[in-house]
Amino acid sequence: MVRVDDGLESTDRVRCLVQVTAEEGSKPFVVACIPAFNEELSIGSVIVRTLKHVDQVIVCDDGSMDLTGDIAGKMGVTVIRHERNLGYGAAIASLFEEARRIGSYVMVTLDADGQHNPDEISSLVEPILAGEADVVIGSRFLREGDSDLIPGYRKIGLRMITGLASGGSNGTITDSQSGFRAYSRKALDKLSLTEMGMGVSTEILLKVADNGLRVAEVPVRITYDENSSTHNPLVHGLDVVLSTVKLQEDQAVQRRPCPYCMSNAALWAVTFGTFTATRTISTNVTLVALGATIVGLMLMTTAIILWVIIGVIREIRG
C-alpha cells in the first residue's frame, strides 16, 4: 500500500547514502516531511522554499486525485505514495517511519498548502540542536499579533481543543493542533502513532508526556486564505474533538485499569461476603459497587461509540 519513490537510480541512492554517512559526524541531518492531500497549487513552491533550510524533503502523497505526487516526484524529492487517502495521521506515521529509516537527526513537519513559512524552520530546529527539547511546536499564540491572522471561529476551536488536549503537557502548550513541528531522533524512536486522522497531533502530545520527552514551543506566523483548509471546518473540528476525548479516555483506562477494576471487585466481594455471612444486603456498599460498575460500563460504551463515529466521519470525509 505504501510505496517510496525518490526518483533515484540505485547507484545514485548508494552515492547519497555514502554522502549522508560521511556528513553524519560533521553536520546534523535535518529532514522536512510534508503530508499532502490534493495540494497541486502549492506543493511546488513549498518544496522549493523548504529545500533551502533542510538536507532532504520527503512528501507523503496521501491518495491525491490531482498532480501533487507528480509535481513532488519531478522535483526530485522523496515521495511516499498511499494508494488511497488514509488520513493526515496515517501520512504522519509513514513520514515518521521513512525519517527513521534514513537516519534523520531532526525531522520537521510542515503543511503542503503553504500556510507554514519554511523560513521559520531553523527556529523550530534550534532547541533540538541545543539539546533543550525533543519536540518543538510552532505556536500561533506565543507572539502578540500572530493570532490576529486566525479566523475567529478557529481561534475559539483551537483554544478549546488545546484545553482538552493539554492533560499530558500540564497545560503548558498553547497550540496543540499546529502541524509545524520538529522532532529529535529520540522522539522519532519513541513515538509510535496509531491515530489515522487529525487526532494525531493530540496523540503525539499525550505520548510525549508518557515517554518522558521534553516539549518546547516557538512562535510562528501561519497565513490563512480561502485554500487553507482541505476539509469542512465542522467535520475537521468534530474529528479532532472526538479523537481528543477518545485518546484521553484510552489513556485514563490504560494508566489506571488495575486500581479501578480491583476496587470494583473488592466492593462486590464485600457485598457478597456480607450477604453470605449475615443474609442481609449492605445497601451502601452495594450501591457504590453498582455505581462503579455502571460508570465503568458507560466509559467502555462511550469509547466504542466514539470510535465508531470517528470511523464514520472519516468515511464521509473520504
- Residue pair 245/204 in contact by the 8 Å Cβ criterion: no
Q: What is the spatial distance between Cα 163 and Cα 171, in angstroms, rounded to a whole number?
A: 7
**Residue 228 binds Mg ion (CB under 5 A):** yes
Q: What is the spatial distance between Cα 130 and Cα 214, in angstroms, rounded to a whole number?
A: 13
* Contact stretch for ligand GDP (CB under 6 A) within 34-42, 72-80, 131-139, 263-271: 34-42
State which of residues 117, 122, 229, 282 lies at the interface with ligand GDP (CB under 6 A): 229
**Residue 111 binds ligand GDP (CB under 6 A):** yes
Q: How, if at all, do strands 30-36 and 56-62 pair?
A: parallel
User: Residue 59 has which C-alpha cell?
Assistant: 512528501
Q: What are the φ and ψ backbone dihedral angles of 248, each rounded to 5 degrees? A: -65, -40
Q: Which residue has the cell 529509516?
A: 101
**Residue 180 binds ligand GDP (CB under 6 A):** no
Q: What is the spatial distance between Cα 219 and Cα 126, in angstroms, rounded to a whole number?
A: 13
State which of residues 118, 179, 199, 237 lies at the interface with ligand GDP (CB under 6 A): 179
Kindly state the smallest distance separating residue 112's Cβ from Mg ion, in Å. 9
**Residue 113 binds Mg ion (CB under 5 A):** yes
Kindly state the smallest distance separating residue 60's Cβ from ligand GDP, in Å. 5
* Contact stretch for ligand GDP (CB under 6 A) within 6-14, 36-44, 168-176, 304-312: 36-44
- Residue pair 21/95 in contact by the 8 Å Cβ criterion: no
Q: Considering only CA atoms, give the Rg of the chain.
A: 23
Q: Hey, which residues between 69 and 108 contact ligand GDP (CB under 6 A)?
A: 85, 87-88, 91
State which of residues 117, 123, 230, 286 lies at the interface with ligand GDP (CB under 6 A): 230
Q: Which does 62 bind (CB under 5 to 8 A by kind): ligand GDP, Mg ion, none?
A: ligand GDP
* Contact stretch for ligand GDP (CB under 6 A) within 112-120, 122-130, 141-149, 199-207: 112-120
Q: What is the spatial distance between Cα 107 and Cα 123, in angstroms, rounded to a whole number?
A: 13
**Residue 36 binds ligand GDP (CB under 6 A):** yes
Q: Which does 141 bind (CB under 5 to 8 A by kind): Mg ion, ligand GDP, none?
A: none
Of 35, 47, 40, nearest in space to 86 by CA: 35
- Residue pair 33/99 in contact by the 8 Å Cβ criterion: yes
**Residue 55 binds Mg ion (CB under 5 A):** no
Residues in the interface with Mg ion (CB under 5 A) total 3
Instruction: Please state, as a whole number, how many other Cβ atoms lie within 10 Å of the Cβ of residue 224.
Output: 12
Instruction: For the chain, give the longest Cα–Cα distance.
Output: 84
Interacting residues toward ligand GDP by CB under 6 A? 35-37, 39, 60, 62, 85, 87-88, 91, 111-113, 115, 179, 228-231, 236
Interacting residues toward Mg ion by CB under 5 A? 113, 115, 228
